[in-house]
Amino acid sequence: MSETVNLPALGDSVTEGTITRWLKNVGDHVEIDEPLLEVSTDKVDTEIPSPVAGVLEEIFAAEDDTIDVGAPLATVGDGSGASSSDAPAEPASEKTAESAAPAPATEAESEPEPEPETEAQAESEPEPEAEAQAEPEPQPAESATPASADESAADSPTESEDAAPDASAAPSTKPAEPASASSPSEPIDVTGNAGYVTPLVRRLANQHDVDLSTVKGTGVGGRVRKEDVLDAADRAGAQAAEPKAHAAVSDLRGTSQPMTRLRKVAAEQAVSSRQTTAQVTTVIEVDATSIADLIERVQDAFTTKTGKALDFVPFFAKAATQALQAHPIINATVDGDQIVYPGAENLGVAVDTDRGLLSPVIKNAADLDVAGLASAIDDLAERTRSNGLKPDELSGGTFTIASSEARGALLETPIVFLPQSASLSSGTLTKRVAVVDAGGVDAFAIRSMVYLSLSYDQRIIDSTDASRFLDSVRHSLENDDFEGQLGL
């Protein structure tokens, strides 16, 4: 019995999705909740899991096809409906079918299902007639299988970052076997405690030279996620960092690539926002020494309790949401000739991903303390990088913050995306000499300083409004007692 897998609802405002990549081929065995394919919408890229365990029997939509929510994607069953004539979405399978098509009719065609050639074998034997003469006696499919596998492994380079091998090359006369550690449908470099690893994570590990057997997964059941690989790559890079005469040369030099769907949508929104609004930026400097000292003092206790490191961003977010409540014009939107003041502070937080900068939204952010904001930011950042967001979590923001602390930039001028009217960016905290008041006398001291940049739509926000808002943020960061909001 087969079950149809349909494109699920990906959010209230999402009506269609574009298939970017199939992670499984026809004939592959899949487990419940194991990813089948990747889908891109105008808000988020995500993986579609299999609702049942079984064999992928048929694929209804190819890569780059755009289909409506609820439309059928594939069928998963016991394998009785899968056959080598089904065309999976992988380009490699198309090449295999083309290379096998011109083979002349031989006595072997009377066999139920001869072993198809791999792409590497087809390229190494361009003369079908010579092959027929060299092998007058057809070989049974069962005895030919090991030799074919050996030749394919010897002639083809290992492609650990690609999806599972083409399932259409499997004889339909053999029953589908469940995937195991040695099955070609499983990631070939998963060892140790890595568990099941998605092709996206495996490809990322290969790109960063990360041994998955050494990575401790933080996902459900110890599953290794993108963030785990990136953390491991960062640690390895820090340990191996040495002065080099020349920077590494990117493989992208001299190439061209099509924009992803998300990049095209972001580009259109950026241009539309700049053409529609009158954006300007105001910058202030903040003495964040008290926060830097607090983070250093409570870091161990906070990490022990939450399992996460504490940084400047949740303090920055808390100060911003408090200031938005006092200066609602910064949180307002333009609707024709009306200024609309939302009843909540829905805070977008910019997250750097391998697909670009995305801004998931914390709804009612002003209701959270620093510990709650830290937890919400960590959760959203992790799910954004691992394609675990719901599309609606990327919409509904009334104000956005971004931090360049991890990238080391001192100052940024963020762009405001409609319908929002303002966006706030913080630079990296740097220790430098500053003039301080020492009992009524000016003195030099080493302080942790940070720049805050507010970009805003001057159609409704004046520079005086921006300055008052930034002054409220600065006063909060320099004077508020945040320790009681850490839950320690």
* Burial (0-12, 13-18, 19+ Cβ within 10 Å), 101: exposed
> Omega into 146 within 30° of 0, i.e. cis?
no
pLDDT band at 367 (very low <50, low <70, confident <90, very high): very high
Across 327-347, average pLDDT: 95
pLDDT for the residue 356: 81
Percentage of residues in the chain having pLDDT higher than 70: 73
- 199-238 shares the fold of 3-169: no
pLDDT for the residue 43: 67
Asked whether the predicted pLDDT for residue 200 surpasses 70, the reply is yes
Q: Which residues contact 482 (CB under 8 A, 6 or more apart)?
A: 291, 294, 315, 318, 370
One-letter identity of residue 73: L
CATH architecture, range 199-238: Irregular (4.10)
The rounded mean pLDDT for the chain is: 77
Across 163-172, average pLDDT: 41
Asked whether the predicted pLDDT for residue 154 surpasses 70, the reply is no
Asked whether the predicted pLDDT for residue 407 surpasses 60, the reply is yes
What's the rounded Cα separation, in Å, for the pair 415 and 400?
10
Percentage of residues in the chain having pLDDT higher than 90: 36
pLDDT for the residue 462: 96
pLDDT band at 221 (very low <50, low <70, confident <90, very high): low
pLDDT for the residue 429: 92
* The pTM of the whole model exceeds 0.85: no
pLDDT for the residue 144: 39
Across 255-265, average pLDDT: 85
CATH topology assigned to domain 263-485: Chloramphenicol Acetyltransferase (3.30.559)
pLDDT for the residue 196: 64
Highest mean pLDDT: which of 40-49, 79-88, 134-143, 309-318? 309-318
Domain ranges in the chain are: 3-169, 199-238, 263-485
pLDDT for the residue 110: 41
Q: Tens digit of pLDDT for each residue in 26-77?
A: 889 989 888 888 888 766 778 888 888 899 888 998 888 888 888 999 998 8
Among 13-22, 216-225, 405-414, the least confident range: 216-225
Asked whether the predicted pLDDT for residue 222 surpasses 70, the reply is yes
Q: Tens digit of pLDDT for each residue in 420-472?
A: 999 999 999 999 999 988 888 999 999 999 999 999 999 999 999 999 999 99
Q: Tens digit of pLDDT for each residue in 270-302?
A: 999 999 999 999 999 999 999 999 999 999 999
Structure tokens at 357: 């900068």
Asked whether the predicted pLDDT for residue 85 surpasses 90, the reply is no
pLDDT for the residue 220: 65
Domain 3-169: top CATH class: mainly beta
pLDDT band at 261 (very low <50, low <70, confident <90, very high): confident
